[in-house]
Each structure stands twice: as C-alpha cells, then as structure tokens.
Amino acid sequence: MLRTPARALAAVAKASGSAAARRAPRTVLSARPALPVSRVAAVPLVRSFHATSFTAAPVTVKVPQMAESITEGTLKQYTKAVGDFVKADEEIATIETDKIDVSVNAPQSGKIVELLAEEDSTVTVGQDLIKIEPGEAPEGEAAAAPAAAESAAPAAEAPKAEAPKAAAPAAAAPAPKAAAPHPPRRRPLPLLRRALAPAARRPNAAAALTTFNEIDMSSIMEFRKLYKDGVLKAEGVKLGFMSAFSRASVLALREIPEANASIEDDQIVYRDYVDLSVAVSTPKGLVTPVLRNAESMGLVDIEREIAALGARARDGKLSIEDMSGGTFTISNGGVFGSLYGTPIINLPQAAVLGMHSIKEKPVVVNGQIVIRPIMVVALTYDHRLLDGREAVTFLVRIKEYLEDPRRMLLPSPV
C-alpha cells in the first residue's frame, strides 16, 4: 500500500522534470534567433552600399563638326593624358585645319581611359577620338587642383603687379550678334528646278554659272573721299568699299530672295535675314567669317564688324560659330590685283559675289570717251535656285547702287 504512493510520486517528479526540460530548450530556441535575424538583415545593407559605386560605361568623344566644307584636320595635340580627370567642357584636344584650329571639349566630367588617335594624324568629322569614364575626380585630386592654382597665382602675379589689367581688352571685345530674329521659310523644290540639275539631291553639288558686269566706281570713290576722315575721327573706323558692297548686296537680296536661299533635301529654305560670309585672307589661307544680321547694319557698323572679324581671323582666334551659317558670300580678290575671276559658291549657299581690282578704262559717257575707274564684278550662282534673269538682275542692282549710292537710301529700287 505504501509503495504505490512512492512510485506515483516518483513518476510525477520524473514527468515534471522532463516537462521542465522540454520547456527550457523551447525558451532558449525562441530567444536565440534574434541575433542571427539582425545579422542576416545587415548583409543586404552592406551589399546595397557597395552597389552604388559601380563604374559607368566609357563615353566616346568624336571629332566635332568643323566649319562648312571642312571634313578633316590634323590632330595637333592632346591637352590631357590617359588617367587625367577632366571637367565638363574642358579642352582635351586641338585639331588643326587649313582654315582654323578647332578645340575638342569633354562632354562631361570623368577620367580619360583611352586615346584613339595619334597626334599629327589626320582625323575626320565623326571619328572616335577619346574615351572618358564618367565620374568626378577623387576628393584628394579635386582638392589638390585648386590648391595648386592658388599657390601658383602669387608667383605669377609677383613679377608684374598690374597683370590683372590684361583682361581688359577681352572684356571690351564686341559681343556676338544675336541669332536670326525669324525662322527660315520653306517650300518644296519645284519639279522644274530638280530637272535643271540631276545632282539636285546631292548636298555638295551645284549647277554653277557665272555672270559678269562692270561698275563705274567714280561716285562711291568720291563718297569715300568726302567722308572717310570724318568717319575715322568720329567713329574710329576706316571707311572702305566693303561696307558699300555689303549694303548693296543686302538690298539686292531683299529683291531677289532666291540668292539668299538654300536647298535642303527637296525644299527651298528662304531667310528673312542676311548673314554675310566675308572672305578674309590669313597666313593659313582664305577663311569666311560671318557678319550676322547685316540687314540691320549701316555702313559704319558693317566696317567695324568686318574689321573685328578680320583681326580675329589673322590672329587665329575664329571659332566654328564665327564661320558657320552664312547665307551669302562676298569675296574681294581685288586686294591682290585680280582683274577677273570666277568665285566658288560656298555651299549650301546659292550665290557668291566676286569683287576685283579697280582699273582706269576708256568708256563712253553721253557720247564722249572719258577715263573712269572700273571694277569688274562677278556673280556665281546655283542654277537650281536662280535663273539667268534673276542673277543678272541681282548684279545690275549692285551696279546701280554703287554707281549712285543715293539709291541705297530709297525704300525700293528706282
């Protein structure tokens, strides 16, 4: 009787101990996963942090568009080396052409990883030139550059205290002209015009013809003689013949708008403004900087702008923008003594006016033979845009304006 309760008590105690033992591990197991969960959750955070520093694909810098009719040049030099960091718009190379030097600028900040052309080699527009890995310079290198510039500044200023004044002439340079005020007008190229030249669809071809005329320069020479000293004293500008020919051309282009137009695909593009390309001789050859919005200028303004463009051309400081976008060209071979010449159209323009030297010739005036200063002028034109009638009319208007400059004051040809 007594052994039964004892066994029962032992069984109860054993059952209680096993139950407690089973409960204890559950308690520990339910508490321990807290640490591994937090550690596992931290791993993606570390990985996502490193994922933000991936390397972008390199950007290829190509040879940029140059002046009209220029398709290649010589890679003069790289201004940066492989491994150098550059900022957006910073110059990285210079290309030399027979007309101008063209700067190649970085499209964005980054490190130069590869140079794709050799210096002094010939490169063409659109050719791969440099590869840049986008990104910013490391903090150490970025901070070193300003520090080096600051340390070098006092050394540069020490020999000459007034060095900052050297920037004054650049500030005084005339601001570039505003863009054309009106967009060009377009209309389809008539089928008859296309038939006149089978090459009408080729952008670098034209059906070129040339017409000539003679101008008695007596009146414009007298005009210049009367007013050149006064203009030079009042305006600081030398009054020449280019301003008169430019103004006469603007007025003639207003009457014959096809001479100021161009062909693009199957359309004729008409313009209500005149951007004159003026031929200038430089040590590297002939260049044609553009006189913007010549229709809004007087004689003095035209002379001033032509003089400024000529000085920049001879100093090799013309940019691509200075030589692009002309709508009509004037070339003066007379400064070299040319008596006759056939100027070449500056495509995609429609015409070019050629001036020549002034020679005294016997001419008949009112039934009398007299000696007059005569200039032969030539107009080369694209027959796809102008017929002979329009071309001859244009050149006759130039002749009338120069032989009687007072006509240029009238609102329409008389």
Residue-level pLDDT at 197: 43
What does the angle CA 245 – CA 249 – CA 253 come to, to the nearest 5 degrees?
A: 180
Return the higher-pLDDT residue of 66 and 294.
Answer: 294
**Cα gap 67→287, rounded to integer Å:** 10
Average pLDDT of the chain is: 78
Q: Tell me the CA distances in angstroms from 319 to 90, 275, 313, 374, one per residue in order.
A: 16, 16, 9, 36
CB 394 within 8 A of CB 252: yes
Measuring CA to CA, how many Å separate 330 from each of 90, 97, 205? Answer: 35, 22, 20
pLDDT at 153 exceeding the cut of 80: no
Give the CB-side neighbour count of residue 304, counting CA atoms within 13 A: 16
- 62 close to 127: Cβ distance less than 8 angstroms: yes
| CA neighbor of 176 nearest in space, from 325, 281, 282 | 325
Has residue 156 got a pLDDT over 70? no
The residues facing 78 across adjacent strands are 93
Each residue's pLDDT tens digit, 366-407: 999 999 999 999 999 999 999 999 999 999 999 999 999 999
Return the domain boundaries, the chain. 57-139, 185-409
pLDDT for 135: 85
Residue 55: which pLDDT band, with cuts at 50, 70 and 90? low
Alpha helix positions (H), 186-277? 191-196, 218-235, 242-255
Top CATH class of 57-139 equals: mainly beta
What is the number of alpha carbons within 13 Å of residue 352 lying toward its C-beta?
25
Q: Are 44 and 37 in contact (CB under 8 A)?
A: no
Q: How far is residue 88 CA from its own chain's centroid?
A: 17
Helical axes 242-255 vs 388-403, angle rounded to 10°:
140
Structure tokens at 398: 């130039």
Q: Which residue has the higher pLDDT, 85 or 411?
A: 85
Output the pLDDT for position 31: 43
pLDDT for residue 394: 97
- Structure token pair of residue 400: 């009338």
User: CA-based Rg of the chain, rounded to a whole angstrom?
Assistant: 38
For 239-255, write each residue's pLDDT tens digit: 999 999 999 999 999 99
46, pLDDT greater than 50: no
Sequence-separated (6 or more) residues with CB below 8 Å from residue 407: 400, 401, 413, 414
Torsions phi, psi for 49 (to 5 deg) = -65, -45
Residue 210: per-residue pLDDT: 96
State mean pLDDT over 122-132: 91
Q: What's the predicted TM-score (pTM) here?
A: 0.60
Structural tokens at position 83: 């491994």
Give mean pLDDT, residues 284-294.
89
- Whether residue 330 contacts residue 279, with contact meaning beta carbons closer than 8 Å, is answered with yes
CATH architecture assigned to 185-409: 2-Layer Sandwich (3.30)
Rounded Cα gap, residues 52 and 71, in angstroms? 42
38 against 330, higher pLDDT? 330
> For the ranges 129-138, 203-212, 319-328, which has the lowest average pLDDT?
203-212
pLDDT band at 315, cuts 50/70/90?
confident
- The CA-to-CA distance between both ends of the chain, in Å, stands at 150
Q: What is the pLDDT of residues 257-266, one digit of tens each?
A: 999 999 988 8
- Which strands, in side-by-side order, build the sheet including 59-62? 59-62, 128-134, 110-115, 85-86
CA–CA gap between residue 407 and residue 397 (Å, rounded):
10
Q: What percent of the chain has pLDDT over 70?
A: 70
So which residues are the catalytic ones?
Answer: 383, 387
Cis peptide bond upstream of 348, omega within 30: yes
Alpha-carbon dihedral angle through residues 159, 161, 162, 166, given to the nearest 10 degrees: 40
Q: What distance in Å separates the CA atoms of residue 101 and residue 119, rounded to the nearest whole number?
A: 14
Q: Is 60's pLDDT higher than 70?
A: yes
pLDDT at residue 228 in the model: 93
Task: Specify the higher pLDDT residue, 55 or 279.
Answer: 279
Q: What is the pLDDT of residue 100?
A: 75
pLDDT at residue 179 greater than cutoff 50: no
Q: Specify the pLDDT at position 244.
A: 96
